Structure formats: C-alpha cells, structure tokens
C-alpha cells in the first residue's frame, strides 16, 4: 500500500507541476513552452536533495551549452555538422562529470538554438526562462513529500523487523535444543535480509527527502539490523555442524531465548554482554571434553557464543555512533 501511495503522489506532482510550468510558459509567451513542462517532469523524478542538486547543475550545464552554441554555430555553417559537434562535446563532459541527467534537456536547448541561430540573443533568454521556470516549479512541488507518513512507516518497519529477529532467535534456540522445527529457518533469515535491505533503501529515500541531517539514524539502525541478521546466518550454519548436542547447548539455548526479549530499539546491551561473559566463564571452568566428538561440538558452541557477542556488539557500536542530537531525538525516552 505504501508503494502505491508513493506512486500516486509522484504522479500527481509530475502531472500538476508539468501542467503549471506549461501554463506559465504560455502566459509569458515563451517559445517551445512545452519544454518547461518536460523540464519539470525530468527534475521531479528525484528526491528533494537530488532535485536541488540537479537544478543547480541544469543551470551550470545550460550555460555551458550556450557557450558551445556561441562557439560552434557561427563558425560552422552546416547545421547538422554544428549540432553534431556540439553534442559530441556536450555528451563527453556530461559523462565525465556524471551529469547524464542534464543531457536530454541541453540537447533540446541546443536544437532550439540551432533553429533560431539568426536571433541567438532572444533565443538564449527564451531558453533560460524555460529552464528557470521548469526547475523552480520542480523544487516547489518536491517540497511536498508527506515526510510524516513516511517516517511513521519506517517506525512501523522497525517494530516489524525486531519482531521477526526475536522470532528467529527463538527458533534458533529451539534448533539448538534439538527440537523439531516447524519452519524453514534458513529461508526466513534470507527473506528477512531482503526486507531489511528494502528498509535501508527506504531510509535513504527518507533522508534525501528531508533537510534535516539526523534522519541518517534510520539508515544506521537498519544497517545494524542487517548485520545482526547475517550473524543469525552464521549461527544457523554453526548449529548444523553439531553432531552430538552437549549439555552446555541447553544453557546457550536458554540464553538465546533470554536475549530475544531484548532485541528492541531502545536497549543498551551491557547486561546481555555481561550475562554472556558469565556463561563463557562457567564454560572455561567446566570439565574438559572426553571424546573427539565432544571436543568438536564444544568448539562449535564456543563459536556460537562468539557470534552472539558480535550480535550484541553491533548494537553497542550503533549506540556509540549516535551523536548528541540523535540521542535527544530518538533516545530521549
């Protein structure tokens, strides 16, 4: 539903914005008024920050296009040759500076100037007004992003991701306890990884559509959860290698169930790390394994505990990376 809402909002902004640009261009009696609507369309197909950046580069590359036209058109009397040489230079520099998004509009500008090469001064003013009108309306319409609803959707995703991580941690605890699995844990982990990647992408989109700097919190948060999800991959892989389940496995399984309750946004993992360290100390004091199989299984359990420590360290590093402003906004409770 959220995806279709975004499509609808973008469609309305482009439709209304392009119509408004065309209408204003006609009102100002500009030649090629339809170009203003096209410029608005092409500039609106970006985020808020990208719209500002692209608008600036549209003006800079427009001036460069005018310079090329003033050089090539008077010197080369054959129209198709002059236009071809201009485009060659324009494309080269657009690719060199990673400004391909500006190329289509500037190519049209160059074509318009070519047809009015005998009235170059008036044509340049006309094209500049079309560019200016198109980008002004694009910037204005891209201010309407409905960021509040976008933010609420991200917050909802945080809760959903945490719930699924808790469920997977519990499922892995059951697996370690040698219980029958009713779900394909591996498939669930892969699915969750893909969904978290989608959340990271959405967090980037939200950040690029707001003028505040602190929304990068959501990017860091979902990247942290993605790293934790990969830890679950490692846990599942290690558990599959256990041939005989030692008695210590039940202790780790109980710890994993305990840990699952703390997979929430506002949790400092210090207590969980301390508890894990106590379990490691008790393992060091336990009797040595008597058989090769017991030794291998004990070694795997040790790797599992190291993975669990990494799981918690990802959360600790995420918290340590927050600045004062982010702590005030997102962790004030």
Q: Measured between alpha carbons, how far is residue 320 from residues 16, 138, 220, 327 in Å?
A: 45, 39, 11, 10
Q: What is the pLDDT of residue 293?
A: 57
CATH of domain 147-330: 1.20.120.940
Q: What is the pLDDT of residue 214?
A: 64
Q: What is the pLDDT of residue 119?
A: 85
Is 173 in contact with 257 (CB distance < 8 Å)?
A: yes
Residue ranges of the chain whose pLDDT lies below 70? 1-2, 45-46, 144-147, 181-182, 211-215, 244, 285-295, 297, 332-333
Can you tell me the distance from the alpha carbon of 190 to that of 172, in angstroms, rounded to the nearest whole number?
14
What are the tens digits of pLDDT across the range 123-166? Answer: 999 999 999 999 988 888 877 666 677 788 899 999 999 999 99
What are the tens digits of pLDDT across the range 178-192? Answer: 777 667 888 999 999
Q: What is the pLDDT of residue 192?
A: 95
E strand or H helix that includes residue 206: helix 185-208
Every domain of the chain with CATH number 1.20.120.940 lies at 147-330
Can you tell me the distance from the alpha carbon of 288 to that of 74, in angstroms, rounded to the nearest whole number?
91
* The token pair that represents 301 in the structure block: 């359990």
Can you tell me the distance from the alpha carbon of 128 to that of 59, in angstroms, rounded to the nearest whole number?
8
Can you tell me the distance from the alpha carbon of 206 to that of 221, in angstroms, rounded to the nearest whole number?
14
Q: What is the pLDDT of residue 1?
A: 64
């Amino acid at each position: 539903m959220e995806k279709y809402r975004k499509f609808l909002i973008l469609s309305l902004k482009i439709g209304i914005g392009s119509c408004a640009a065309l209408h204003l261009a006609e009102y100002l009696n500009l030649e090629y008024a339809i170009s203003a609507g096209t410029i608005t369309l092409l500039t609106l197909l970006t985020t808020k920050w990208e719209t500002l950046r692209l608008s600036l580069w549209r003006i800079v590359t427009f001036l460069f296009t005018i310079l090329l036209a003033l050089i090539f058109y008077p010197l080369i009397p054959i129209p198709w040759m002059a236009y071809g040489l201009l485009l060659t230079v324009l494309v080269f520099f657009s690719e060199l500076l990673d400004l391909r998004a500006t190329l289509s509009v500037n190519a049209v500008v160059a074509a318009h100037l070519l047809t009015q090469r005998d009235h170059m001064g008036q044509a340049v003013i006309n094209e500049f007004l079309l560019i200016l009108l198109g980008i002004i309306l694009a910037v204005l319409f891209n201010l309407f992003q409905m960021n509040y609803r976008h933010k609420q959707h991200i917050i909802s995703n945080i809760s959903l991701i945490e719930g699924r991580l808790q469920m997977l941690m519990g499922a892995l605890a059951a697996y370690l306890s040698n219980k029958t699995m009713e779900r394909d844990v591996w498939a669930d982990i892969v699915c969750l990884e893909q969904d978290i990647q989608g959340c990271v992408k959405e967090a980037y989109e939200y950040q690029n559509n707001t003028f505040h700097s602190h929304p990068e919190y959501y990017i860091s948060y979902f990247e942290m959860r993605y790293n934790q999800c990969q830890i679950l991959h490692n846990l599942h892989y290690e558990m599959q290698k256990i041939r005989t389940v030692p008695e210590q496995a039940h202790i780790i399984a109980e710890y994993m169930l305990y840990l699952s309750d703390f997979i929430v946004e506002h949790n400092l993992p210090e207590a969980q790390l301390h508890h894990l360290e106590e379990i490691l100390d008790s393992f060091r004091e336990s009797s040595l394994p008597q058989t090769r199989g017991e030794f291998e299984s004990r070694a795997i359990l040790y790797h599992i505990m190291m993975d669990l420590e990494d799981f918690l360290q990802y959360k600790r590093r995420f918290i340590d990376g927050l600045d004062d402003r982010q702590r005030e906004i997102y962790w004030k409770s």
